[in-house]
Amino acid sequence: MKKTVCSGAILMTALSAHAQSSVTLYGIVDVGLSYQSSAQTGKQGGQLNGKSLVAMTDAHATGLSGSRWGLRGTEDLGNQLKAIFVLENGFMVNSGTLAQGGAQFGRQAYVGLSSPNAGTVTAGRQYDPVVESIQQFSAPFWAGYMSSHIGDIDNLANTNRINNSVKYTTPSFGGLKAGALYSFGGVAGSQSRNQIWSLGVSYNGGAFSAGAGYLNARNPNVSFYGNTPNKGLATANNIGSAGSATAPEALPAYAGYASANTLEIIGVGASYVLSQTTVSAIVTNTRFEGLGSSSGPNALGYSGNAVFTSAEVGVRTFVTPALLAGVAFDYTTRNSMKGDGGAKYMQLNFAVDYSLSKRTDVYALAALQRATGRDSLGQSSVAAISGFTPSATDKQLGVRVGLRHKF
């Protein structure tokens, strides 16, 4: 009889613990075919060579949602306090390889405490408050990575996460929420080197929503652009590359600014919902400050500040409950550096997304970009739609059709 009572007590304790804790497996698989009108194949005699390209790619590069799987867990600690964690892996479904530079949990990896009255504190590799506060007003939120501003210059497509970070997010007060993040640089004797800090605030109140955010990254070539396993060396260009006779350039719009002492990103955005239609607008300012004052490479001898300003307007609507269609236009300018007259990038984005079920959809995306002026590599600016190989000319068309499944 004692054994029965004891066994029953153990069983009830186990069931109670199970009821107070949960771990959820979730993920997205998104693959498609992409076409680009011009893709660099290398350089010959200082001239860029390019040809059209059709390829199967994971959405990580050009689609709606990079493929991923993750674990999300909570434990009830009592008094409305919960322990939480997220481990989220990104992968390339077309090849089975890891995304985010080979990181095992490169999308997110954090643990923390959460209370509905006090807010949430988390620590690990995380999204920054700028992304969380204003991404919802930008085209990448509904038209995919290829619709981001040149090279995702303002990180609204969430190309770069933040390592070694502690983040606090307030509860929602009538739709108003704020967040703050600090990333430790981890350099002995220099607390500020490689540090990142960020602030964000957002308001969601029925039809009208708005947000603003700010990010400051010291030595960004390492702290912000070099925080994945395939990067990190202070003397390497972790942002991009100038290419070669056999390799294309990477992020030519700002790859030349790896020697910046500080990266600053500030943005504001808003949207308004009219029945089934959402109108949105966003403005961002990205600054590479103190060029030539960090250990990053500076092949062209830049000094001063390189400043990019991007403005975007977009409209999307549910044509039917299952069919979403949208269009957005963005315009990015960069100030003159070493008397080069600056650069301009204009891009028109289109998206159509049809839901076959609650978890599966098919979509078509298109982007048309034109570049003018001089880029950071000291050459005539080339078009470079985010996620695609840069063009060999000042124009580029990118198209993608894809299939996405969520679980």
Give the angle subtended at the CA of 249 by the CAs of 139 and 38, to the nearest 5°. 65
- Helix, strand and coil percent figures for the chain, each rounded to 5: 15, 50, 35
What does the pLDDT look like over 80-123, one tens digit per residue? Answer: 999 999 999 999 999 999 999 999 999 999 999 999 999 999 99
Q: What's the one-letter identity of residue 136?
A: Q
pLDDT band at 181 (very low <50, low <70, confident <90, very high): very high
Beta strands in 173-300 (DSSP E): 176-183, 196-205, 208-218, 262-274, 277-291
What does the pLDDT look like over 230-266, one tens digit per residue? Answer: 987 778 999 999 999 999 999 999 999 999 999 999 9
d(CA 144, CA 159): 12
DSSP states along 221-243: HHHTTS-STT---TTS-SS-B--
- The partner residues of 379 in beta bridges, in order of sequence, read none
Q: Which of 82, 105, 35 is nearest to 399 (CA)?
A: 35
CATH number of 22-406: 3.10.450.40, 2.40.160.10, 2.40.420.20, 3.30.930.10?
A: 2.40.160.10
Q: Is the pTM of this model over 0.75?
A: yes
